[in-house]
Amino acid sequence: MRNAKWRAATKAALALTGAAALAASMAMFLPGTASAGTTLGASAAEKGRYFGAAVAANRLSDGAYTTILNREFNSVTPENEMKIDATEPQQGQFNFTNADRIVNHARSQGMSVRGHTLAWHSQQPGWMQNMSGSALRQAMLNHVTQVATYYRGKIAAWDVVNEAFADGSSGARRDSNLQRTGNDWIEAAFRAARAADPGAKLCYNDYNTDNWTHAKTQAVYNMVRDFKSRGVPIDCVGLQSHFNNDSPYVSNYRTTLSSFAALGVDVQITELDIQNAPANTYRAVVEDCLAVPRCNGITVWGIRDSDSWRSEQSPLLFTSGGAKKAAYDAVLAALNAGGTTPPPTTAPPTTPPPTTAPPTTPPPTTPPPTGSCTATVSVNQWPGGFVANVRVTAGSSALNSWATTITLPSGAAVTNAWSANRSGNSGTVRFTNVDYNSQVGAGQTIEFGFQGTGTAGNLSATCA
């Protein structure tokens, strides 16, 4: 009973504010004592995570399918309906009919949605396949902007760019018409996505990036590290994790998850399926995710074996008849047994609290310089929620660190922030620099943002 109520509350919170509410609702409702969920979604949620499935719009009319979907999962990924050929079949003419069917179904059930995918070398409509150079770059960025804007506020995480690295040992980018527009096409796509939907987590997603020693894994890792160091807006890495005899699960998978997480991004297992669905391997994948605090969700690539893109391998958790397989039991047990630490919503402080008494020397008689920076806030408000972008500008001297405080009106609360550390979530909320934006040159500006519930009104920020 408690689980059912807890799950309903969590689903309601998810329906209201999407992914941002997930962590917050976890914090509010996490049971004080261990409890065992009876479905994948409820059990994952008790661990501060989601458990999702790839969904096909044309299966939503299959009652057996939707019964399992609605009972077991609290996140969905449209399997094909948000791809470029589906959403922009003719240049400049967008079609969201099938994607909307999935998004509306998910929202009606309080499930979050992973968007898949904004920029990809594959599944391009004919008009895009025939483009190159700056015209293609512009068309790609327009596609990212239009689709992310259309779904603004409804997508927990976007696979902004999919499968941009080559297979094999080169560690190189995959050759494609998009790659030939210039090596910076990926970061350009991420910047366009952030501008269009500041509240969505932005992921890079790929396959054969599970084995830590694989050149492709290292290449993606180096890109993400570079993006984080330069402030390119990336929040998460998706490991597709299509495991089969040629590309098997390996025991260094946990190292891969934790190594990406250590870069300061969330890690999501986005398209999990395993040839013949061995229970032990499914269990190991779940245990690995639960062992890494920033591994915040798992999605299986289909529900029943008959729904799979490679159904002959029977790689999923339910039989074609809809029965739970041994792998299902293993996953549920692993979720219920796993660590209880939900992923943090913001990076935890890196300095431990002092263990000795603070120094007793009197404060300096001259106050520290003030007014060394200024901050401005712009707010995008919708009924019940908002996104704020904050610009911090250094004065006539460079900053080595910065802090700003913003006072929210009563009833408004911050649910997540990006490119800043945050303390507090209502009333006066304090934001401080993260590593990569601590240095601001004289007269230069950096930006950070946050998402919230309620009505923000006109916000102003102090800066020091």
Q: How many residues bind ligand G2I (CB under 6 A)?
A: 8
Q: How far is the CB of 207 from ligand G2I (least distance, A)?
A: 6
> Which of 123/372 has CB closer to ligand G2I?
123
Cβ-proximal residue to ligand G2I, closest one = 309
The catalytically annotated residue of 72, 163, 187, 287 is 163
CA distance 313 to 295: 26
Scan residues 265-304 and list those touching ligand G2I (CB under 6 A). 271
Scan residues 138-167 and list those touching ligand G2I (CB under 6 A). 162
Q: How far is the CB of 167 from ligand G2I (least distance, A)?
A: 13
- Print the binding letters for residues 94-133 with ligand G2I: x by CB under 6 A, - otherwise: -----------------------------x----------
> Which of 181/240 has CB closer to ligand G2I?
240
Asked if 421 contacts 382 with a C-beta cutoff of 8 angstroms, the reply is no
User: Which residue, 102, 51, 48, is CA-closest to 80?
Assistant: 102
- Print the binding letters for residues 209-248 with ligand G2I: x by CB under 6 A, - otherwise: -------------------------------x--------
Amino acid identity, residue 333? Answer: A
Q: Is 271 a catalytic residue?
A: yes
> Which of 76/332 has CB closer to ligand G2I?
76
Q: How far is the CB of 134 from ligand G2I (least distance, A)?
A: 27
Residue 442 neighbours by CB under 8 Å, 6+ apart: 394, 395, 396, 397, 398
Amino acid identity, residue 46? Answer: E
Scan residues 64-93 and list those touching ligand G2I (CB under 6 A). 79-80
> Which of 316/399 has CB closer to ligand G2I?
316
CA distance 336 to 36: 5
Does 309 bind ligand G2I (CB under 6 A)? Our answer is: yes
Q: How far is the CB of 227 from ligand G2I (least distance, A)?
A: 21
Taking each helix axis from N to C end, the angle separating 326-337 and 279-291, rounded to the nearest 10 degrees, works out to 20
Q: Is 163 a catalytic residue?
A: yes
Cis amide prior to 117 (ω within 30 degrees): yes
Question: How many CA atoms, within 13 angstroms, populate the side-chain half-sphere of residue 122?
Answer: 9
- The DSSP 8-state label assigned to residue 306 in this structure reads G
Strands 428-432 and 421-423 come out as antiparallel
User: Which residue, 169, 240, 177, is CA-closest to 203?
Assistant: 240
User: Which residue, 370, 383, 274, is CA-closest to 330?
Assistant: 274
Instruction: Give catalytic residues, as residue numbers.
Output: 163, 271
Which residues contribute to the site for ligand G2I (CB under 6 A)? 79-80, 123, 162, 207, 240, 271, 309
